[in-house]
Amino acid sequence: MPKILLIDDFHEYLHQSMQGKFEVIDCRDCTPSEVGSLLHLHQPEGLFVRSKVFIDKELMVASSGLKWIGRGGAGMDNIDEVSAQEMGIVCFNTGEANSDAVGEHTLSMLLGLLTRLLKANSEVKTGIWDREGNRGTELKGKTVGIVGYGNTGSAVAQKLRGFGVEILAYDKYKTGFGNQWVSEVSEAELLSKSDVISLHIPLTTETRNWINKSRLDQCKMGIYLLNLSRGMTVDLLAVEEAIERGQILGFATDVLPVEPPWKDLDENRKRAFERLMELNHTIFSPHVGGWTVESYRKISIILFDKMLKLYDIDSNFL
C-alpha cells in the first residue's frame, strides 16, 4: 500500500477514508523541527501538510520516493514549488474548499467596517450609548474592486450580487471572466474607481507588498481596504499613512505579515500594527476566514479526491 505521512491536523474524514487503502503515518502532533527526520525515517511517497512548516528542497529529498504533496488550504507559499517541479513532485491544494467561508468572512468584515458594528457593540457593553458616533454607511451604490479572481475572489463577487453594488475585478493571470455582474478591468481602473478594494491573491514575489504607497496614491480618497489573502501582500506602514491622511476610511484583514503579530521581528511593522489596533475603524481576525466547521471537512474531502486521481482510483469504488 502507498505510504502517506500526515504532519498536521485534518478532519477525521481523511483518516477514515484512507483506512485499509493506504499506509498512513499520523504525526499530526509533531513539531516543525521533527518533520525532516520523520520523512527520512518513514520514506513516504505522499505528504499531507497545512501550515506547520515550509516544505523546502531539503525536506523533499529526505524521502527519496516522495511523489506528491497535498496542501490543506488555498495558499502554496509554504511549499517550494520550483524545487518540487524540478524533482517531479506533484503539488496540489484545496483552494475551492474554503472559498465560501472566505467569501462570507469578507462580507462580514466589510459590513462591520461600514456599520461600525464592532465599535458600537463595545461601547454599549461598557455603558456608552452613542448613536451619532456610530452612524453607518450603506454598501448599496458603491463600487467594489476585487483583486484576484480565483476561487475566493469569485466567491466574494457571487455573494455581493444582492447588495446593489458595481463589481470590478482584476486578475493579472486570468481573462474572459467578466459577466453581467462583474466587469473585468485593468489594475489602474480598479484602483482609481473602487470605493472598496478586497485582496484575494496568492503570495508571490510579484504580490509581496502589492498594496503599497504607489498603488494607494492611485486610489480615490475615502476607500475601504480588505485583505483576505496573505499578510505580506499589504504594506502596513503604507496603510497606516493612508489612514492618517484620510485616504483609507476603514481597514480589515484576516492575515498579517507575521502570525501571530507579536512574533514579528520587524519593529517598524510591529509598531504600525499596534497603532492600527488602537483605531476604531480597523478590524482584525486571526487567519480564520477560511476556517469554518464546513470548510474543515471539505478540505479533507477534496484532498482525498485529488489524491485518488493521482493513483487513478475512483472514490466511489473504495
| pLDDT, position 225 | 98
Higher-confidence residue: 313 or 102? 102
Is residue 69 in some structural domain? yes
Are 84 and 187 within one domain?
no
Residue 141, pLDDT above cutoff 50: yes
The pTM assigned to this predicted structure is 0.91
Are 41 and 146 within one domain?
no
Residue 315, pLDDT above cutoff 70: no
Is residue 78 in some structural domain? yes
Q: Per-residue pLDDT tens for 215-238?
A: 999 999 999 999 999 999 999 999
Please say whether the beta carbons of 120 and 172 come within 8 A: no
Are 124 and 257 within one domain?
yes
Is residue 289 in some structural domain? no
Q: Per-residue pLDDT tens for 230-269?
A: 999 999 999 999 999 999 999 999 999 999 999 999 999 9
Rounded average pLDDT over 25-34: 95
Q: Domain span at residue 311?
A: 3-97+294-317
Is residue 36 in some structural domain? yes
Are 38 and 167 within one domain?
no
Residues designated as active site = 230, 259, 287
Residues whose CB falls within 8 Å of the CB of residue 257, separated by 6 or more in sequence, listed in order: 231, 232, 234, 236, 264, 266, 269
Is residue 212 in some structural domain? yes
| pLDDT, position 266 | 96
Are 177 and 273 within one domain?
yes
Cis peptide before 202 (omega within 30 of 0): no
Average model confidence (pLDDT) for the chain? 95
| pLDDT, position 220 | 96
Q: How many domains does the chain have?
A: 2
Pair type for strands 196-199 and 143-147:
parallel
Q: What are phi and psi of 249, to 5 degrees?
A: -90, -25
Are 41 and 125 within one domain?
no
- The span from the CA of 303 to the CA of 50, in Å, is 11
Are 93 and 104 within one domain?
no
Are 61 and 107 within one domain?
no
| pLDDT, position 275 | 97
Are 93 and 103 within one domain?
no
Pair type for strands 68-71 and 46-49:
parallel
Are 176 and 257 within one domain?
yes
Q: How confident is the model at residue 317 (pLDDT cuts 50, 70, 90)?
A: very low
